[in-house]
Every structure is written in C-alpha cells, then in structure tokens.
Amino acid sequence: MDRAPRMSGRRRVWAGALVSALALALPLVGAGQASAADVNNVKNAGFEAGLSNWTCSAGSGSTVSSPVHGGAAALKATPSGQDDARCTQTVAVRPNATYRLSGWVQGGYAYLGVTGTGTTDVSTWTPDSGSWKQLSTSFTTGSSTTSVTVYTHGWYGQAAYHVDDLSVFGPDGGGGGDPEPTVPGAPGGLGVSGTTSSSVSLAWNPVSGATGYTVYRDGTKVTAVTGTSATVTGLAASTSYSFQVAATNAAGESPRSTAVSARTNDSGGGGGDLPEHAVTGYWQNFNNGATVQKISDVPSHYDIIAVAFADATATPGAVTFNLDSAGLNGYTVDQFKSDVRAKQAAGKKVIISVGGEKGTVSVNDSASATNFADSVYALMREYGFDGVDIDLENGLNATYMTQALRSLSAKAGPSMILTMAPQTIDMQSTSNSYFRTALNVKDILTVVNMQYYNSGSMLGCDGKVYSQGSVDFLTALACIQLEGGLDPSQVGLGLPASTRGAGSGYVSPSVVNNALDCLTRGTGCGTFKPSRTYPSLRGAMTWSTNWDAAAGNAWSNAVGPHVHALP
C-alpha cells in the first residue's frame, strides 16, 4: 500500500516485462522421460566437487552446504550490477539426438538453458521460489553437433539463486559420468500442516533423487507435485481421510510413506462473526494529502478496518504501533482506543496492518517469527485489535511467516482476523512465497485482498495477458487464486478508492461491481468468463478509507452495498 499517493514507474514496467518473459517461457516447461539407455551427460551435476567443470561469470558462483536438493552441496550464484550470475558447462553430446535438460532451483529468479545445439536453443525460467522447484525442457542436436553449452543465470538486481542436480539425459556423448537415476526411497516425515472444511494441507521431507511426489487419499492418487507440500481440496466437511505420499523420478515411483490421518473442519477459514461478504478499508495513520480521519469517521460500509501501519523495531521480526497524533490533528491514543471499541460494538473488525510500500519487517528465522507473533499479540491486547493484515511488499519468507502466523493464532484464538494484501506478481503462481503462505495458513485465513493496481499487465488463469483497468484484469487474475487452492470466501478484490490512491490501476466502482457479479453470478463479465461461479466470494478492499473520503466516499457508497447484496 502507498504511504504516498504515487508510485515510481519502474515496478509497473518491470511487472509487464515479467509477463512477456513468462508468456514466452511457459510453453517450454516439461519434457518426456529419458529412456533406460540414457545417461546424464553433465559432469559434477550436483556440485559435490565444488565448481569443477563449471565457469561462473564475474566470480558470482560458489558452492554451499545449505540449502541443497540432494547430496551435500549446491550452487549459489549472486547477480551483481550488470552481471546476471551466469554459470556454464560444455557438455559432450551426440549428433541428431534428443536430450532432456533439467535442474532444481531455489531462491531468486532462475534461468536454465542450452546453446550451441545446432537446431533450436531452448531455455526455461521461474520467478523467485522459497523451496526447491524443478525446471525442465528438451532439445535436439544438429547433424554435426558434438557438444552444447548448458547455462544457468539469475536476473539483474534480484536475489541469489541456487541450483542443484542438473542433468542432460540422453545418449552418451562420451563426456558424462553421472549415473542414471534409481527409484527413490519412500518419503518420511509426512504430516498435516493445516485443515479447512474442504481441504487438508500436507508436508513431508525431501527425498534424494526425487523429481516429484504423488499424493494418495485413501489409496487413490489425487495429485502430483514437485515440492514437498500439497493441499488436497474438494473434501467433505467433518470427515476423516488417510493420506500417503510416494517419491518419483525417471526410474519410477517409490513405496508409499507411512499413512497419516486428518479430519476436515466443520467450517473453514478464520474471521469470527464477519458477514459472509465483507468490505475491507485501509485507514491511514499518517497524512499524505488524503482526508485525515479518526477511526470513528470511517463509514459503516466497511466491515474490516486495517490500521496502516505497524512499525518495525530494532528487534528482528518485532513490530510496534505509534499513533501519528500530530499528523492526525491531535488524535489521542485514548480516543483511538475508544473509537476501536465503538466500531467493534457496531459489529466491525479493526486490525493492525504490517508492511506497506515502505515496510521493512523481516521474518526469516524462528527467532524473528517468535518476535513477530509476540509483538503483534501485544498490540492486539493493548489496542484491542481483532487481528493482523500482512501487506509486506518487499519480500516474505513462506516458512517462517507461516510459523509466525500459526504462533499468533495459537495465542489469539480462533476468532482472530487474518488478512493479506499481496501485489499481483505475488499471486501469479502457487510457487510464489505469498501464495504458499496463504495456502499454508488456509485454515486460519480470513481473506486475501490482492492489490489489482500499480502492476502493469499480468497473466490470467487462462494463460492470456490482461491489462489493468478492466473487468477482465480483475476476474482473470482472481481466477488464479480461486482455482489455485484458496476458498472463494478467502478471496477479495483490492482496488484504489480514487485516481489519487495509486499510481495506476484505478477503475470506477461500477467496474468493481461488474467483476464481483461476474465471479459470483456469471454476469457483467468482459471477454473473460470463468468456467464456474463463486457465490461465496468474500468481497472487496480499497486503499484507502481516507482517499475514499477525499472523493466523497463514492467508492464505499457504491461498492459497499453491492458487496453486502452478493448471493
């Protein structure tokens, strides 16, 4: 969310560029299995011998012992300045042969490709990933090709990336030596990480040599994934199920893991006594030219009021709240607390938002996760907040934010409100850290109000690119969340309240209402129409109640009643 009304153009251009790159890269992912006679032609494919046989630009590469996908080492390469941390190896191959190129990546933006094939050079990539993710593609060599160059690289200005267990499987070119894969062992550590009324989330330990995992429910295969977690959806409420997981690679499938049982909830998601369809508004604890408000000034159309923002402290992960009394015309802490209580007495929820455009709260280990949970709970007790909003726009660690939110929920109880406000890029794929976090805490999550602004063009769930400012942009991007594992009651549409509320992406309230109708009723759609409707869609959010007030409350007066009248 913007503390200032305008954003720089850089993020919007960058996001659009990512869409173009992603649209080009997506068709390359995936390749057939290697045959029994194939070998891995890459030398030192797992970096167990350091950087032997590899060359990295500008000294950008090194080997690390953690994180690793298999064995005891992996490559870590760090982009810097105009260097994209490119690491290469010349691999011996046979002419007129087909090879499968694959590797496991984690961390920043990671690319995998091959040049010098004598036919069509290929590549694939992924945005930043908090867990190991497999990239794969295939290529055919030319009639005189005896070697190719395999490469990995990151992207300028992005975080370091990690690579492990690279392979070029195909006919022996005479220069390889890594063995063919063998059937992996059974996964261990299978456990239940969360439940809702219609889903069970599972997690397990990685298996060396595995390229994927198959999940079984009551003995029947229900899904296949490449990571070490999965959410099984479409389950009946208040019902017990048994789950197992098997590891897979080109050689076959492992024995299944020890079974675990899980029972779905009576009803899913957090939110206490919120209405079925709710409107969220951010209230500014600062003056940036919008109307200065007290909490008592927020219109009754708003069901959740997110106080923006908590402030980071010198303690990693910990936050505090400092009311800007001077900037809010002398609004006192006692008045603020009294107004919070009055809103709650009227059936509203008031929560503390963590992050924003300039928020720098970092939760990246167990200690900071504990500090986050303890400090947010202390604010809930001091000010009477009903919960927390996660609006971290500068990075999020799915593992430790999940730990922090579960710890906070255990302290606050089942009525805690938990909302999120990711940017559009954060919810393009379930592999992104924000999306994974939302799925990890689905059983305690109230709503994800993605910001449909300041983003540029993005991919919809149909693989097409949509531009800001249209019904299609709202519905096709919401579809990714609705079909990616979130319950419709956990999905909301986040829009600016006025043209001054964001640098780009404002749409009139009538467009917001059309998108809500399209998703819940199948009416009011643009060129994109979802394959089904989602009558329990939670509602809408705006930045901010202050910008709404500055525009005569036009947004809440139009969208509020429409949300509350949804089916």
Please, what are the averages of pLDDT over each run of 10 residues along the chain (567 residues)? Answer: 42 38 38 57 89 92 89 89 91 94 92 95 86 92 95 88 93 68 87 75 88 92 88 80 90 90 62 82 96 97 96 93 96 96 93 80 91 95 95 84 93 91 93 92 94 92 92 97 94 96 94 97 96 94 97 97 94
| Model pTM score | 0.58
According to the model, what pLDDT value does residue 87 have? Answer: 96
Label the pairing between strands 319-320 and 349-356.
Answer: unpaired
Do domains 191-263 and 278-564 share one topology? The answer is no
Question: How far is residue 245's CA from residue 222's CA, in Å, rounded to a whole number?
Answer: 10
Answer yes or no: are the C-beta atoms of 251 and 276 closer than 8 Å.
no
Is 393 among the residues known to form the active site?
yes
pLDDT digits (tens, 9 = 90+) for 223-259: 988 888 888 888 877 678 899 999 988 778 999 999 9
pLDDT of residue 27: 36
**Other CB atoms within 10 Å distance of the CB of residue 332:** 12
Largest distance between two CA atoms of the chain: 80
CA angle 429/435/440 to nearest 5° reads 135
To the question of domain 191-263 being in CATH 3.90.180.10, the answer is no
Q: Report the relative pairing of strands 161-170 and 260-263 from DSSP bridges.
A: unpaired
Residue whose entry in the numeric block shows the structure tokens 């080492």: 73
Pairing assessment for the beta strands 74-77 and 129-140 based on DSSP bridges: unpaired
What is the Cα 366 distance to its own chain's centre? 20
Look-up: residue for tokens 């492990």?
A: 164
What are the angstrom distances between the C-alpha of 495 and each of 143, 274, 486? 56, 21, 20
CA 273 to chain CA mean position, Å: 27
Domain boundaries of the chain, sorted by first residue? 27-170, 191-263, 278-564
Q: 337 φ, ψ to 5°?
A: -60, -40
What distance, in Å, lies between the first and last C-alpha atoms of the chain?
A: 29
CA distance 320 to 332: 17
Which numeric CATH code is attached to 27-170? Answer: 2.60.120.260
Gap between the Cα atoms of 387 and 274, Å rounded = 13
Distance of alpha carbon 75 from alpha carbon 151, whole angstroms? 12
Residue 348 confidence (pLDDT): 94
Q: Which two tokens stand for residue 478?
A: 């919401």
> Which two three-digit tokens encode residue 134?
């497999």
Superfamily of domain 278-564: Glycosidases (3.20.20.80)
R_g (Cα) of the chain, nearest Å? 25
**Whole-angstrom Cα distance, residue 95 to residue 117?**
9
Q: What tokens were used for 453? A: 């602004």
Q: What pLDDT, on a 0 to 100 scale, did the predictor assign at position 252?
A: 84
CB proximity list for 334: less than 8 A, separation 6 or greater: none
Count Cβ atoms below 10 Å from residue 59 Cβ, excluding itself: 11
CB atoms within 10 A of CB 520: 20
* Contact of 353 with 284, CB cutoff 8 Å: no
436 three-class SS? helix
